[in-house]
């Protein structure tokens, strides 16, 4: 009897040990190295929350498991690619689908009409791209005017006055975006302030509440979020009605209205595509740390523009300015994550990626990979003189035909800002002040950064 009891206990221990040993490996995404789910319902959600952001989680994931790694979103396996070499191998037949947009649609409660990926592709390439091109062409003088107003304000400051860069740039961003996207009625400060307030609430919850599930657990926060979303939707619907009766059809929403989109689809496109021009903030931050880069920009503006203001036709000739903005985007990791749905079985290295897997491109990891970029943490616009660097940037979707329309819009406004500012002022970062580079679903500086200006001789 004692022998049987010993055997039974031993058997149970061995069985439990076998289950504990075999269970984790069975939960990995088709054998791809990575994390086991820490929670049956949430997967590795708490691991992501513990790291502070999805980007920081992916950095640690790839440090531990290499360039191809897996983890779990709830009960769904996810494959993450963290190097340029592995990214090149990933063949995705659904390349035109914007998975970040798809996630936002689900979160915000919007749904496209039928047609799936092909419909999204048509909207992006024809309607959206055309709307942005038309808006910039028709409203370029307005962009110049808004930038001139801001730089004129900075010129009036005493040279030793400390200026909060983020606060000033976000005001410019909101004024530019709302007036170009929604019309002249947003020249009223009160309307812009109300719009920004709701916009900030919505995007804050998208960046945080989506990742840690905390929104659903807080009745007050959820109520605040839903109120902001309802007010934003109401504002956009009223703008659509206002613009339909306008004779002057020159802003972004006008082009969407004149297309075959429904009011609901117009609402959705305007809401999720309001790309706050964070690139301007980071560009000025990096410029404030390098007088040499400022002087080279000044020289280029003088050679290409002379005493004339910048124009849409002249922007492609400003090559060094383009390099500065590219390096800003790379160094600050302003787009740290992209995602694709694996519609057919794929393969990267020796790893099979099952059909319908979510594949994350860990762009924030790749953008600071020492195997791809020399001195990856250094702000160095000169690196973009090399053809190999240009090709790498193109492959990541930040240049060429795959560049998103919002990035082109942001680059245009940033170029106008730099062309006006650098020809009149020099930027200086205050000593012992640093801006922390942080990347999330929505990239924003964590802390304010302070700068001073001096007149350029």
- Lowest mean pLDDT segment, chosen from 211-220, 270-279, 393-402, 423-432: 270-279
pLDDT confidence tier of residue 260, bands split at 50, 70 and 90: confident
Of 91, 108, 121, nearest in space to 340 by CA: 91
What is the model's pLDDT at position 96?
Answer: 44
Does pLDDT of 270 surpass 90?
Answer: no
Among 208, 199, 278, 275, smallest CA distance to 437 is for 278
pLDDT score at 130: 87
Q: What CATH number does domain 29-115+334-367 carry, 3.40.640.10, 3.30.43.20, 3.40.50.720, 3.40.190.290?
A: 3.30.43.20
The most distant pair of C-alpha atoms in the chain lies apart, rounded to whole Å, by 101
pLDDT of residue 103: 47
Q: Give residue 339's Cα distance to chain centre.
A: 12
pLDDT of res. 445: 47
What pLDDT band is residue 439 in, cutting at 50, 70 and 90?
very low
Strands 346-348 and 351-353, sheet pairing? antiparallel
Q: With 50 as the cut, is the pLDDT of residue 104 above it?
A: no
Q: Flag whether pLDDT at 83 surpasses 90.
A: yes
Mean predicted confidence (pLDDT) in 273-300: 85
Strands 358-361 and 76-81: parallel
Give residue 290's pLDDT: 93
Cα gap 320→325, rounded to integer Å: 9
**How far is CA 340 from each of CA 53, 316, 428, rounded to the nearest angstrom?**
19, 31, 41
Backbone angles phi, psi at 335, to 5 degrees: -125, 85
Instruction: State pLDDT tens for residues 111-141.
Output: 444 444 445 555 556 787 888 889 999 999 9
Quote the pLDDT of residue 418.
97
pTM of the model: 0.84
Binning pLDDT at 50, 70 and 90, where does residue 291 land?
very high
C-alpha span between 269 and 286 (Å, rounded): 31
User: What is the overall mean pLDDT for the chain?
Assistant: 80
404 is in an annotated binding site: yes
Averaged over 314-336, what is the pLDDT?
93
Burial class (CB in 10 A: 0-12, 13-18, 19+), 94: middle
8 A C-beta contact, residue 145 and residue 178? no
* Mean pLDDT lowest among 9-23, 183-197, 380-394, 424-438: 9-23
Percent of the chain scored above 70 by pLDDT?
Answer: 77
Using the predicted structure, report yes or no on whether residue 71 has a pLDDT greater than 70: yes
Distance (Å, rounded) from C-alpha 198 to C-alpha 194? 7
229: left (phi over 0), alpha (psi -120 to 50) or beta: alpha
Predicted pLDDT of residue 126: 74
């Amino acid at each position: 009897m004692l022998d049987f009891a010993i055997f039974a206990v031993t058997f149970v221990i061995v069985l439990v040990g076998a289950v504990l040993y075999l269970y984790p490996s069975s939960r990995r995404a088709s054998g791809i190295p990575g994390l086991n789910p820490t929670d049956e319902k949430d997967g590795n959600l708490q691991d992501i929350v513990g790291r502070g952001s999805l980007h920081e989680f992916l950095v640690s994931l790839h440090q531990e498991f290499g360039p191809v790694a897996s983890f779990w979103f709830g009960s769904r396996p996810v494959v993450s690619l963290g190097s340029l070499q592995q990214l090149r191998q990933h063949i995705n037949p659904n390349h035109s689908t914007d998975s970040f947009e798809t996630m936002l649609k689900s979160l915000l409660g919007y749904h496209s009409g039928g047609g799936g990926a092909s419909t999204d592709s048509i909207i992006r390439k024809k309607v959206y791209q055309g709307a942005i091109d038309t808006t910039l062409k028709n409203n370029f003088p307005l962009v110049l005017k808004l930038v001139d107003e801001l730089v004129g304000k900075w010129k009036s400051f005493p040279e030793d006055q400390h200026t909060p860069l983020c606060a000033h740039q976000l005001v410019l961003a909101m004024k530019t975006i709302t007036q170009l996207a929604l019309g002249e009625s947003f020249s009223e400060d009160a309307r812009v302030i109300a719009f920004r307030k709701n916009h900030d609430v919505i995007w804050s919850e998208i960046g945080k509440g989506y990742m840690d599930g905390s929104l659903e657990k807080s009745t007050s926060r959820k109520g605040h979020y839903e109120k902001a979303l309802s007010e934003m939707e109401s504002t956009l619907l009223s703008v659509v009605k206002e613009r339909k009766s306008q004779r002057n059809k020159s802003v972004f929403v006008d082009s969407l209205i004149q297309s075959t989109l429904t009011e609901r689809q117009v609402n959705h496109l305007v809401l999720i595509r309001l790309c706050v021009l964070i690139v301007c903030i980071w560009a000025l931050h990096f410029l404030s740390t390098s007088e040499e880069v400022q002087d080279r920009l000044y020289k280029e503006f003088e050679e290409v523009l002379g005493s004339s203001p910048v124009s849409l036709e002249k922007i492609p000739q400003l090559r060094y300015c383009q390099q500065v903005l590219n390096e800003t985007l790379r160094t600050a990791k302003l787009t740290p994550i992209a995602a694709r749905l694996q519609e057919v079985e794929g393969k990267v290295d020796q790893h099979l990626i099952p059909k319908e897997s979510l594949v994350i491109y860990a762009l924030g990891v790749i953008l600071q990979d020492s195997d791809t970029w020399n001195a990856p943490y250094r702000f160095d616009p000169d690196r973009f003189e090399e053809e190999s660097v240009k090709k790498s940037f193109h492959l990541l979707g930040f240049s060429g035909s795959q560049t998103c329309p919002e990035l082109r819009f942001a680059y245009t406004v940033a170029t106008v800002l730099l062309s006006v500012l650098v020809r009149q002022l020099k930027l200086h970062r205050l000593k012992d002040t640093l801006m922390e580079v942080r990347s999330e679903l929505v990239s924003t500086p964590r802390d304010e950064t302070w700068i001073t200006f001096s007149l350029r001789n």
